[in-house]
């Protein structure tokens, strides 16, 4: 919700301060200035909000059995975020955008989450 609302502090509140975000080559190439890894909750939150065009298409999901988010505009899978938690906060985010990587995932969208 914080991402969709553009709420940096709301997003930072659910992230570990030492957050590590790893992106595959497809994502890194598509998002200017994003290497294969970013660190820091506030830095990533600002980047995520600045690049949040697809946030309205984001849906909570199980990604290979763990908590994550799928982004599928008009029903076409575009990105998947897989979360790792520590101390009740998101400590790691893996962003998958490569077609082969997306095809290899076991996804279950959680339709009624947050309803």
pTM of the model: 0.86
For residue 114, the model assigns a pLDDT of 53
For residue 115, the model assigns a pLDDT of 47
For residue 63, the model assigns a pLDDT of 97
How many Å from the N-terminal Cα to the C-terminal Cα in the chain? 12
CA pair distance 93, 15, nearest whole angstrom? 10
pLDDT < 70 positions in the chain: 1, 32-35, 112-115
- Backbone CA torsion sign across 92, 44, 71, 103: negative
115 Cβ partners below 8 Å, 6+ apart? none
What architecture does CATH give domain 2-109? Answer: Roll (3.10)
Secondary structure of residue 115 in the 3-state scheme: coil
For residue 42, the model assigns a pLDDT of 92
For residue 97, the model assigns a pLDDT of 93
């Amino acid at each position: 919700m914080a991402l969709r609302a553009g709420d940096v502090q709301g997003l930072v509140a659910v992230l570990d301060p030492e957050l590590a975000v790893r992106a595959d080559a497809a994502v890194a190439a598509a998002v200017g200035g994003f290497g294969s890894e970013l660190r820091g909750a506030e830095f990533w939150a600002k980047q995520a909000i600045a690049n949040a065009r697809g946030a309205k298409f984001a849906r909570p999901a199980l990604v290979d059995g763990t908590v994550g988010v799928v982004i599928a505009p008009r029903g076409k899978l575009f990105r998947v975020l897989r979360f790792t938690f520590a101390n009740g906060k998101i400590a790691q985010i893996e962003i998958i955008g490569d077609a082969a990587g997306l095809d290899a995932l076991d996804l279950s969208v959680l339709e009624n989450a947050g309803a």
